[in-house]
């Protein structure tokens, strides 16, 4: 499944599969998926390791261990919504 900027109703799936998500291509994403801020030289893109979508730093400043995806030892960047789901 591919996600693009125009899919405003997306919510990360609370149920894990044991495979890493397909990352949205940088060229397909010009704005943060959550706050819609434009990406620039100073406002960089960051992929959430859980859902694969692209966010700005402000909307993906959390890190979490995700054992289901083999991120067992080092916390990795996740978006705010995935962080909330991982820490439920």
- What's the total number of domains in the chain? 1
- 71 in a structural domain: yes
Q: Which of 62, 56, 53, 58 is nearest to 8 (CA)?
A: 53
User: Average pLDDT, whole number, for the chain?
Assistant: 83
**Within-domain flag for 15:** no
What's the pTM value of the predicted model, to 2 decimals?
0.76
Residue 36 lies in a domain: yes
pLDDT tens, residue by residue, 57-85:
999 999 999 988 888 899 999 999 999 98
Where in the sequence is the domain holding 44, given as residue range(s)? 26-86
Strand pairing report for 54-55 and 62-66: unpaired
Question: How many beta carbons lie within 10 A of that of residue 22, not counting itself?
Answer: 10
Instruction: Give dist(CA 13, CA 77) in Å, integer.
Output: 17
Q: What is the CATH number of the domain that holds 62?
A: 3.30.40.10
Question: For the residues 42-61, what does the mean pLDDT come to?
Answer: 95
């Amino acid at each position: 499944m591919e996600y693009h900027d125009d899919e405003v109703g997306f919510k990360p799936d609370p149920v894990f599969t044991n495979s890493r998500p397909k990352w949205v291509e940088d060229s397909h994403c010009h704005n943060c998926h959550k706050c819609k801020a434009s990406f620039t030289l100073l406002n960089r893109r960051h992929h959430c390791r859980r859902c694969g979508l692209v966010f700005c730093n402000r909307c993906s400043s959390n890190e979490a261990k995700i054992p289901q995806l083999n991120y067992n030892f080092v916390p990795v960047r996740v978006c705010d919504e995935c962080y909330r789901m991982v820490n439920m």
